[in-house]
């Protein structure tokens, strides 16, 4: 089994990636953070989950003088893969270091702050490391979520007929002290486009692209910042157009007193709706209706997206095979849509794999 290191000590590293690694009985050999104290919190969390922490070494930037910095971690021959869960602006440089050290990489989304930075990183990977058999995957759990995969299968099987339009609404309220994801300094003062609209919005774009099986090629949007603590924008309402002429709308808001999570895919023969199951975390309700509005499929499915994506990454590392669902160019396409709507709209390049 490939030895793996977890780089990052934020909530997502500890509450998402770490539980998946422990559950999958992965060979976790090292944890890293900028500070030794935060790295130790990951180790403690691993212990609470039942991991054998005596086998896990701690690395941090402030331990570099002791031979326990990131460079030393990456020199270890028994570590063949890393999961990178670091702030958006930091990730591309760390990913390059990991690839240069010969490690397979699963990097948190978004892979970079904008399409230009993301494309530069991916082109470097494709030029220098792809032929060496190294894997660069992006952790977009919505493409692994079991509920969204079920929805994709229903659409692909023609159960709603030719897709005509898609409508997405994701509203919530992020307030200081009430939202654990907000209590991160790099999120409070984002030095990248879109703020939470980029950080969270790439998930929703990935869902639309994944379930529909189509590319968004044009947007027209209205954006605003409603809450002063959510710069530079917390609300977008946009029209979207797909590569086959289908159209739709998306409304993303992190400053709404009413919450909702709903995606509607309307075809010539029916409609499919995805929405959060009431009171059930990580569970979605999938409803397929015929032309008369009768529900012919009505299912509640636990997503398990993070578990499935980490499982797929470990499998890719073991077999040195690439999983296109986690392909870095898929991640660029998600960023490109967010970039477009944050700029008021425009045409979007389609980032096909290998293009």
What would the DSSP string read from start to end of 127-190? HHTGGGT--EEEE-GGGT-HHHHHHHHHHHTTTT-SEEEEEEEEEEE--TTT-TTT-SHHHHS-
Dist CA 300 CA 303 (whole Å): 9
Task: Encode pLDDT of 159-204 as tens digits.
Answer: 999 999 999 999 999 988 766 655 555 454 655 556 788 888 999 9
Token pair recorded at residue 302? 């636990």
Dist CA 281 CA 328 (whole Å): 28
Largest CA distance in the chain: 70
In the prediction, which pLDDT does 68 show?
A: 97
What count of other Cβ atoms lies within 10 Å of the Cβ of residue 54?
A: 7
Token pair recorded at residue 279? 């009171």
Kindly give the residue spans of alpha helices, DSSP state H, lying in 178-304.
185-188, 196-212
Q: Which of 55, 52, 54, 58 is nearest to 73 (CA)?
A: 58
Task: Encode pLDDT of 136-150 as tens digits.
Answer: 999 999 999 999 999
In the prediction, which pLDDT does 355 show?
A: 40
Dist CA 127 CA 124 (whole Å): 5
Tokens 């309307």 identify what position? 266
In the prediction, which pLDDT does 187 show?
A: 53
In the prediction, which pLDDT does 354 show?
A: 42
Spell out the residues 6+ positions from residue 279 whose beta carbon is closer than 8 angstroms to its own: none
In the prediction, which pLDDT does 17 show?
A: 96
Dist CA 106 CA 81 (whole Å): 8
In the prediction, which pLDDT does 185 show?
A: 54
Token pair recorded at residue 177? 């002290």
In the prediction, which pLDDT does 186 show?
A: 47
In the prediction, which pLDDT does 329 show?
A: 93
Instruction: Spell out the long-range contacts of 152-157 with Cβ–Cβ below 8 A and sequence spacing 24 or more.
Output: 152/210, 152/211, 152/213, 154/272, 154/286, 154/288, 154/297, 155/211, 155/212, 155/213, 155/265, 155/267, 155/272, 156/213
Cβ pair 42, 69 in contact under 8 A:
no
Dist CA 31 CA 353 (whole Å): 31
Is residue 31 classed exposed, middle or buried when 0-12, 13-18 and 19+ CB atoms within 10 A define those classes?
buried
Token pair recorded at residue 292? 């008369």
Q: Which of 88, 102, 48 is nearest to 195 (CA)?
A: 88
- SS3 label, residue 6: strand
Residue ranges in the chain whose pLDDT is less than 50: 186, 188, 354-355
Token pair recorded at residue 271? 């409609």
Dist CA 18 CA 53 (whole Å): 12
Task: Encode pLDDT of 307-319 as tens digits.
Answer: 999 999 999 999 8
Beta bridge partners of 168: 250, 263
Domains of the chain: 3-141 (3.40.50.720), 143-307+335-347 (3.30.360.10)
**Mind spelling out the 3-state secondary structure of 288-353?**
EECCCCCEEEEEEEECCHHHHHHHHHHHHHHHCCCCHHHEHHHHHHHHHHHHHHHCCEEECCCCCC
In the prediction, which pLDDT does 312 show?
A: 97
Dist CA 203 CA 199 (whole Å): 8
Q: Which helix (H) or strand (E) holds 20?
A: helix 18-23
| Torsion angle defined by CA atoms of residues 125, 336, 178 and 50, in that order, rounded to the nearest 10 degrees | -30
- SS3 label, residue 102: coil
């Amino acid at each position: 089994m490939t030895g793996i290191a977890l780089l990052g000590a934020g909530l997502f590293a500890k509450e998402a990636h770490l539980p998946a690694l422990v559950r999958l009985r992965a060979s976790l050999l090292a944890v890293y953070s900028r500070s030794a104290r935060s790295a130790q919190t990951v180790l403690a969390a691993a212990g609470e989950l039942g991991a054998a922490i005596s086998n896990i070494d701690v690395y941090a930037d402030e331990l570099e003088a002791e031979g326990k910095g990131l460079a030393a971690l990456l020199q270890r021959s028994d570590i063949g893969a890393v999961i990178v869960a670091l702030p958006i602006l930091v990730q591309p440089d760390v990913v390059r270091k990991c690839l240069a050290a010969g490690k397979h990489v699963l990097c948190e989304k978004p892979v970079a702050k904008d399409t230009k930075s993301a494309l530069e990183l991916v082109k470097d990977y494709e030029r220098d490391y792809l032929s060496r058999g190294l894997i660069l995957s992006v952790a977009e759990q919505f493409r692994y979520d079991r509920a969204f995969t079920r929805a994709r299968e229903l659409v692909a099987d023609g159960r709603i007929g030719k897709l005509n339009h898609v409508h997405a609404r994701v509203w919530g309220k992020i307030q200081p002290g009430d939202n654990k994801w907000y209590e991160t300094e790099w999120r409070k003062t984002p030095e990248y486009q879109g703020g939470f609209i980029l950080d969270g919005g790439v998930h929703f774009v990935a869902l639309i692209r994944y379930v529909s099986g189509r590319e968004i090629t044009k947007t027209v949007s209205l954006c605003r910042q409603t809450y002063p603590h959510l710069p530079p924008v917390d609300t977008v309402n946009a029209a979207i157009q797909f590569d086959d002429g289908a159209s739709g709308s998306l409304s993303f808001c992190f400053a709404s007193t009413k919450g909702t999570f709903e995606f509607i895919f309307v075809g010539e023969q029916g409609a499919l709706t995805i929405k959060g199951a009431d009171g059930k975390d990580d569970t979605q309700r999938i409803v397929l209706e015929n032309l008369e509005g009768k529900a012919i499929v009505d299912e509640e499915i636990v997503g398990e997206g993070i578990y499935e994506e980490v499982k797929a990454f470990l499998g890719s590392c073991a077999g040195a095979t690439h999983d296109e669902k986690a392909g870095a160019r898929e991640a660029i396409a998600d960023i490109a849509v967010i970039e477009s709507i944050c700029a008021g709209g425009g045409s979007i390049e389609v980032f096909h794999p290998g293009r």
